Amino acid sequence: MNRPRLPPIVVALNITLPFLSIALYPYYRGDGITATVVLLAGINVAARRKGRAFFERLSTSIAERKLVENLLLGAAALIITVGTLESAGQILTRTGVVEPYNAMLTMVKQGAEDFRRAHITADKYRVPDPVLLWRPIDRHPYTAQRFKGPLLTVPKPADTFRIMCYGDSNTDGPNRRGWAEVLQEVLEQEAVSGTGKIEVVNAGVAGYSSYQGLKRFRQQVEHYQPDLITVSFGYNDIAPAIGVPDSEFRLPSGWLVAVQRQLVRYRFYRVADKIARRWAPERPPSVGERVPLVDYLANLEGFVATGSEHGVKVVLMTRPHLMPRQELAKVDHNWRGKIPLYNRSLVELGAARGIPVIDVQDYFERHYPNEFYDDCHFTLEGHARMAEMLSQEFAAAGLLPGT
């Protein structure tokens, strides 16, 4: 006995929906595939039983409306094309035939690195900003105010001592137990009775230079009214700028950023992008650091001057790294060899201008040289050590209430 043929719309769904689940795989992963299997099973069971008449009428109705039919055919063709390309991209990369372009590490043929566009187009934790270039999202692991830490009361309560920590990825840190979060706990335990509440806010942003950090501080200082800020930049300042430094860098157009942020999710796009880069014209060579040393020092003085205008105490900190200073300073084939120069210049600036400076690099180099999980980021234990050290430094300098 021959089984009755399925209605055309059901046949079309059986063909198209699997490709749709693959096309949406970068967004929903296994959940999308599971949902597709369940949905198709339900549709086929309904089509073979009581729902057959409904699907027959729907197929006839679509066939009679040529515009609707053409639109659905066009959508199906697009879905099948994207699904096929993504399937090919996933297979080729997972089997090691080709490697996809890694959007979070933009490389040019000269070997220089430029992290700026990657944070704009490919980082799920950051969104473009016309002034800051990018900023944190307003949801987990950040607050609606785009910080890690407590949600801040505005205006600041009179009994609250607010510390805001500005810096790059080593300040931004992990989603839990970064040094700013641990510092909050340490200071609460050590707080002098009757001195009010202490808040520690993590204002660090991965990839930020001192140029971006200063602009963010100036945007926020009046609104959030910190009493004390810490400033830790330098690593990204030294990174080579491709084309122009941070002060001249401009965002791509909004629509292009929006499209790129979606495309970089797809393996086939990243494979095609990497192949295209082999044939693309040479990019502009590096023009030097993202923030040259003279501008870096000017930005640090900008933090101090802005803080002075608003009654905010400012503590500058050297940017820590794994390799000992003497060894890193000898590295002349890599931009990271300039890190000791920037740190030394910061210390000299503090001594010359009477600005509080905590030499974090020196502290970790002497006491905890192995508390880094890569060349420039703390382990969780390193974050805890940083918090303990800062609480001691703050108390010794009389920067906290009751000290």
Domain residue ranges in the chain: 8-94, 137-238+286-396
Q: Which residues pair with 228 in a beta bridge?
A: 163, 313
CA dihedral 140, 146, 152, 154 (to 10 degrees): -140
- Condensed to tens digits (0 to 9), the pLDDT of residues 355-380 reads 999 999 999 999 999 999 999 999 99
The confidence score (pLDDT) of residue 282 equals 64
The confidence score (pLDDT) of residue 320 equals 96
What length does the chain have?
403
Residue 204 has pLDDT above 90, yes or no: yes
Res. 242 pLDDT band, cuts 50 70 90: confident
Q: How far apart are CA 216 and CA 214, in angstroms?
A: 5
The confidence score (pLDDT) of residue 104 equals 46
Say what percent of the chain tops pLDDT 90: 53
Res. 187 pLDDT band, cuts 50 70 90: very high
Res. 399 pLDDT band, cuts 50 70 90: very high
Q: How far apart are CA 38 and CA 29, in angstroms?
A: 15
Q: How far apart are CA 76 and CA 68, in angstroms?
A: 12
The confidence score (pLDDT) of residue 211 equals 98
The confidence score (pLDDT) of residue 105 equals 43
Q: How far apart are CA 308 and CA 391, in angstroms?
A: 22
The confidence score (pLDDT) of residue 107 equals 37
Nearest C-alpha neighbor of 336 from the set 353, 319, 350, 349: 319
Res. 285 pLDDT band, cuts 50 70 90: low
Q: Which residue has the higher pLDDT, 283 or 274?
A: 274
Q: Residue 107, Cβ neighbours under 10 Å: how many?
A: 15
The confidence score (pLDDT) of residue 226 equals 98
Residue 45 has pLDDT above 70, yes or no: yes
Q: How far apart are CA 325 and CA 327, in angstroms?
A: 5
Q: Is 375 left (phi over 0), alpha (psi -120 to 50) or beta?
A: alpha
- Condensed to tens digits (0 to 9), the pLDDT of residues 93-104 reads 888 888 776 654
The confidence score (pLDDT) of residue 106 equals 40
Q: How far apart are CA 402 and CA 207, in angstroms?
A: 36
DSSP structure string for 243-267: SS-GGG--PPPHHHHHHHHHHTT-H
DSSP H or E stretch at residue 199:
strand 197-202
Residue 108 has pLDDT above 80, yes or no: no
Q: Which residue has the higher pLDDT, 278 or 379?
A: 379
Q: What is the largest CA-CA distance in the chain?
A: 96
Res. 2 pLDDT band, cuts 50 70 90: low
The confidence score (pLDDT) of residue 112 equals 46
Q: How far apart are CA 173 and CA 171, in angstroms?
A: 5
Say what percent of the chain tops pLDDT 70: 93
- Condensed to tens digits (0 to 9), the pLDDT of residues 299-314 reads 999 999 999 999 999 9
- Condensed to tens digits (0 to 9), the pLDDT of residues 155-185 reads 999 999 999 999 999 999 999 999 999 999 9
Residue 79 has pLDDT above 80, yes or no: yes
Q: Per CATH, the architecture of 137-238+286-396 is what?
A: 3-Layer(aba) Sandwich (3.40)
Q: How far apart are CA 364 and CA 317, in angstroms?
A: 12
Q: How far apart are CA 402 and CA 194, in angstroms?
A: 9
Q: What 3-state class would DSSP assign to 78?
A: helix
Q: What 3-state class would DSSP assign to 179?
A: helix
The confidence score (pLDDT) of residue 228 equals 98
Q: What is the DSSP letter of 97?
A: S
